[in-house]
Structure 1
Amino acid sequence: MSAQSKLAAGSCAYGNVTFLDAMVIGAGVAGLYQLYRLREMGLTVRAYDTASGVGGTWYWNRYPGARFDSQAEIYQYWFSEELYKSWQPTERFPAQPETEEWLNFVANRLNLKKDIQFNTRIASAHFCEDSGRWVVTTAAGETINTQYLISCCGMLSAPLSDRFPGQADFQGQIYHTGLWPKDPVDFNGKRVAVVGTGATGIQVIQTIAPTVGSMTVFVRTPQYVIPMRNPKYSKADWEKWGTQFHQLKKRVRETFAGFDYDFDAGPWAEKTPDERQAVLEQLWKDGSLAMWLASFPEMFFDEQVNEVVSQFVRIKMRERLRSRPDLCDLLIPTDYGFGTHRVPLENNYLEVYLQSNVKAVDCKQSPIERIVPQGIQTADGKIHEVDIIVLAVGFDAGSGALSRIDIRGRDSRSLKEQWQQEIRTAMGLQIHGYPNLFTTGAPLAPSAALCNMTTCLQQQVDWITGCIEFAAEHGKHVVEASKALEDNWVQHHDETAAKTLVVKTDSWYMGSNVDGKPRRLLSYIGGAGDYHRRCAEIAAQGYPGFEMA
């Protein structure tokens, strides 16, 4: 298969090669939109994805209970009011099947699938300096020669699947939540182990609890949780949201985390304890991430403020555990503050532990040592016999997807090797030394973790498209972030992060879940609104710091 590019092939191209103006890796939320925008420019562009269909994270993460925790009215594409109004979500926080269906609806409405190659894993991408183009190879041996390479791989798309020694010896079934099979898994009456109690593990646990024969949950890091309020949406409800399309579109681009809510309660110091309590109660009842991302920003900087908010949540959780001291000690965090980890929404998660057929294992007291044929062996020598093991153990976030591709820039420098030493980017949009490589959802941008993903991914796609358009209009063929720009951004990113409590907590936000990963906050915490303004200013000024030739 080949495509006729409008651009001349460089001297690195030879043999049976597909020539493109632009190549997109990934067909999820960002990849679909990036394909659409570049195609609208008139470029010869193609997207490639390992999956057999569109959806990205919503293709792979089809585990029981998977659903997003951004409200349906703002987890949307904003380039078309007609597209927005044409799809009607069934509830405030739709589940994975509906989200995958929505992304297929978008792809079909825009006729995108004809320009997507599925079941294709990208193995390598090498920059050819004499042509200023990328030579990309797939695992099946195909070669693509492209001027621009845009990564829309996703920030949570490199699952940590081989987590424990002995996994291959297990006589039952092992499932990683990020690699869940399409065929349903039968939990009915089975002895099930769930390893991990982050947002994903919580969704699995609360969903399969009614059907399992027994459940053993291996708890290492307990989570602060917020009860989800998830009303159904009628046609009339969605028509009402449709009338607010333009207001919502503007709002999400200005707020701290790309949602339609922000820190509007006013300064903590100007409120009485009763007024603060009232704000927290109101946000708690909302049943959304507003409790985390729209209460008091001081919570992220001031340990005393954070402790007050943390204690508020602990009390709420303790009430639900019915004064079971053993469960309260195990499931309610005390060694880190609310909001410094990813905060999950849940439905009756804590109540699961009150079931007689559910037990929790304290992995701080007795860590998992290995998987054995019968089940899971912990450090105290006990073997927990089970039929099914669910690994909700997370991802090599932010950097993992690109690090698993052999990406080589100028002078054959290896991105994997560089990021093993230090994770750096220029605003999460480019990496110095890798010309014409653009990234979405990459480290050091809000989209790496701290943003409503549709908001921040679309903003990055729009910026990347604008930059490519600018280069073409000025007769430029190569775009590369300068070292000075990258240095300045890394310094600003680190200075901003250092003011917060987030960097004092071990979590996947800091890369702490991957052995040997350099410690740095993966996501820019200066706010999505601030980041968007900075990006817009750079574009308005002619992209200073992004060198073009």
Structure 2
Amino acid sequence: MRYDAVVVGAGFAGMYMLHKLRGLGLSVRVFETGDGVGGTWYWNRYPGARCDVESMEYSYSFDEELQQEWEWTQRYPSQPEILRYANHVADRFDLRRDIQFETRVTGAGYDETANLWRVRTDRGEHEARYLITAVGCLSAARIPDFPGVGAFRGPSYHTGRWPHEGVDFAGQRVAVIGTGSSGIQAIPVIAAQAEHVTVFQRTANYSLPAWNRPMEPEYAQWVKANYPEIRTTMRTSVNGVMSTFNETSALEVTEEDRRREFETRWAKGGASFLGAYGDIAINPDANELTAEFVRAKIRETVTDPRVAELLAPKDHPIGTKRICIDTDYYATYNRPNVTLVDVRAAPIEEITASGVRTADAEYTADMIVYATGYDAMTGPLLGIDITGKGGLSLRRKWEAGPRTYLGLMTAGFPNMFTITGPGSPSVLSNMIVSIEQHVDWIAGCLERLRADGVATIDADPAAEDAWVEHVNEVAGRTLYMRANSWYLGANIPGKPRVFMPYVGGVGAYRSRCDQITADGYPGFVLSP
């Protein structure tokens, strides 16, 4: 079949892209591996899965009636509620008729003679003028190559590929490997059900309290009444959320004032804590003052001093790895049925038939939960065999790290767009804000190209080089480079250490993209 556009993925990006392209009168086909919409929120059904952006801000803004009609039930939305919202959107805009579910895109090659993308799936081949990837930044789940992974006799689960029917932990001895965001959300819920939980931690992570609660109707009404101003604030902010950002330096105030500000933000909960002072992300001294406040909170919460010190991060500045938002995470280690194992001191050597063996001991388990993260940002794209002009493969082009212009296109791959790709704010922002911005930009670009009789658009290699240099330069001004994070690909052996998202902020990035549109797409090569 031939279409004007093929979209890969039916998460929030793919659904909105389909809606926008339909509005332009284009024929569109979306291919989705799962049997339903929702992307991240379709796959990540692990216990405790919850968004770390507040409900009233984690929603589409493109349709006023949709904004007003949907009722969120909690301050921070849970995975089931977000999935219900995604299905509501799919039904409301009749999106499913153009989505082919249970279909994996295995490859795509650009035909230079016909100016077409030939897209291969596990259920047939298709052609399209435009190829748009909406594969998500955190969709390539990864289990480390521990020796003996296949030897374990009990069930094993990855948080990013959780069974739809759920898992019963009652009476079970559970090994949880990993203490990133998904582990921090899942561990308290598992511990409340299981006979015993053994947590294997390689790296302690900073986590801030969510203080989640039922949605207050008065607050929801206020937000809905003020959505125009609120959405504008979000789109022009640093990270795409509504929280206030204090530009004052943490070093310019008294210790008493600083503690008061930290305590106020801690009591409010959520990631807005990191907006307490303007230099937390760039000044090591300001960052350390912030980090020590959080470490003190951990020590106040965890009754065993040895466990508290293991949970208190000391090897990276706060905020330079994905900040976690939790409900009772640290308090969970006060439970008698929870054991913390430091695998930095005694690494995991083998998964055995009966559990996990470290350099120091073997821990028996009835089931294993891998909260070991993803091959972030590039993994989902490089998992598809994509070849551009001259037979150049994306894997080869990106073998030293991803290269894009604005995170939207990569030179040598005409008419292929990436939604929230490397080089854009993406994972450092409210994802739906960044998704809408990218989708709107791509749709506007295609409308303009068709009106002007332009057959292909491609990134100019020189502009791409300049943008990659700019992304690295901005990241280099911050403390992000001091952490071995998945932002740098540090969780994947052999992956190039390149800072992938754009740190410059959602508002500044949007202005740059809008200016490029207004100026007639400088940095892109247009062919009639």
Match of 2:286 among 298, 305, 319: 305
Give the deviation of 1:424 after TM superposition.
1.1
Following the alignment from structure 2 to structure 1, what is the Cα–Cα distance between the partners of residues 246 and 350?
48
Following the alignment from structure 2 to structure 1, what is the Cα–Cα distance between the partners of residues 221 and 478?
40
TM-score by structure 1 length? 0.94
Q: Quick check: 1:81–1:245 contact (8 Å CA) kept in 2?
A: no
The residue aligned with 2:147 is 165
Q: Secondary structure at the match of 2:320?
A: coil
The residue aligned with 2:117 is 134
Give the deviation of 1:418 after TM superposition.
2.2
Q: Secondary structure at the match of 1:93?
A: coil
The residue aligned with 1:154 is 136
Following the alignment from structure 1 to structure 2, what is the Cα–Cα distance between the partners of residues 40 and 124?
27
Q: Quick check: 1:156–1:397 contact (8 Å CA) kept in 2?
A: yes
The residue aligned with 2:428 is 450
Match of 1:398 among 377, 382, 396: 377
Alignment of 1:393-432 (within 5 A): 393-432=372-411
Letter in 2 for 1:454: I
Q: Quick check: 2:110–2:118 contact (8 Å CA) kept in 1?
A: yes
Matched, 1:47 2:30: yes
Give the deviation of 1:215 after TM superposition.
0.6
Matched, 1:84 2:67: yes
The residue aligned with 1:463 is 441
CA deviation vs aligned residue, 1:327-369 (integer Å, no higher than 9, x gap): 1221111121211111111111111111111111110111111
Matched, 1:520 2:476: no
Give the deviation of 1:506 after TM superposition.
0.3
Identity %: 41
Residues 526/236 of structure 1: CA separation in 2 closer, same or farther (3 Å cut): same
The residue aligned with 2:321 is 341
Letter in 2 for 1:302: N
Q: Quick check: 1:85–1:239 contact (8 Å CA) kept in 2?
A: no
The residue aligned with 1:474 is 452
Letter in 2 for 1:124: G
Matched, 1:245 2:245: no
CA deviation vs aligned residue, 1:44-78 (integer Å, no higher than 9, x gap): 01111100000000000000000101001111111
Residues 502/162 of structure 1: CA separation in 2 closer, same or farther (3 Å cut): closer
The residue aligned with 2:156 is 174
Alignment RMSD: 1.2
Give the deviation of 1:421 after TM superposition.
2.1
Give the deviation of 1:270 after TM superposition.
4.0
Give the deviation of 1:265 after TM superposition.
4.8
Letter in 2 for 1:531: Y
Give 5+ residue unaligned stretches, structure 2: none
Give the deviation of 1:284 after TM superposition.
1.0
CA deviation vs aligned residue, 1:29-50 (integer Å, no higher than 9, x gap): 1111000000110000111110
The residue aligned with 2:168 is 186
The residue aligned with 2:258 is 276
The residue aligned with 1:28 is 11
CA deviation vs aligned residue, 1:294-314 (integer Å, no higher than 9, x gap): 222311111111111111111
Give the deviation of 1:163 after TM superposition.
3.6
CA deviation vs aligned residue, 1:396-423 (integer Å, no higher than 9, x gap): 0000000000000011111112222222
Alignment of 1:107-122 (within 5 A): 107-122=90-105
Q: Quick check: 2:144–2:372 contact (8 Å CA) kept in 1?
A: no
Alignment of 1:317-336 (within 5 A): 317-322=298-303, 324-336=304-316
Following the alignment from structure 1 to structure 2, what is the Cα–Cα distance between the partners of residues 270 and 219?
36
Following the alignment from structure 1 to structure 2, what is the Cα–Cα distance between the partners of residues 114 and 307?
52
Give 5+ residue unaligned stretches, structure 1: 1-17
Q: Secondary structure at the match of 2:126?
A: strand
Following the alignment from structure 2 to structure 1, what is the Cα–Cα distance between the partners of residues 68 and 150?
48
Matched, 1:211 2:193: yes
Give the deviation of 1:236 after TM superposition.
4.5
Following the alignment from structure 2 to structure 1, what is the Cα–Cα distance between the partners of residues 119 and 50?
34
Q: Quick check: 2:248–2:278 contact (8 Å CA) kept in 1?
A: no
Q: Quick check: 2:299–2:309 contact (8 Å CA) kept in 1?
A: no
